[in-house]
Amino acid sequence: MPETDQTPVGLLRPDAGTLVARTASTPWEDAGDGFWMKPVFEDKKTGTRTLLMKVDPGAYSPPHAHDELEQIFMLEGEFSDQECTYKAGDYAVRAPGAMHTASSENGALMLLIYSP
């Protein structure tokens, strides 16, 4: 049986075996401006982080950039930036330092992966 961790911080890279995050029972952390997150995984050696992001209807974040490569996989709803609107099943990857906005007219749920 895999080891389970129900803390609100992401699981750390396992040395062996399998770790499981029960995210349904983990509270959402307020990331500001109608954006919510649940850290799922962090590899402190490589700097890779995985998290779930929930976006409230009408949420907007002004232009910003991330130092890491950003991978986005849409799970539910729609999410927009200045280039495109992404829908459930869409995948996008954004270069480190790429300026972008973030918004959702009707709300969204996505999986984000950040890596150096």
Residue extents of the structural domains in the chain = 3-15+26-115
pLDDT tens, residue by residue, 32-87: 999 999 999 999 999 999 999 999 999 999 999 999 999 999 999 999 999 999 99
> How many Å apart are CA 1 and CA 89, to the nearest integer?
30
Tokens for 107?
Answer: 């709300």
Closest-CA residue to 50 (of 80, 79, 70): 70
- Which residue shows structure tokens 């109608």? 34
What's the CA gap between 101 and 7, in Å, rounded?
30
Name the class of domain 3-15+26-115: mainly beta
Q: How do residues 77-87 score in pLDDT, each as one tens digit?
A: 999 999 999 99
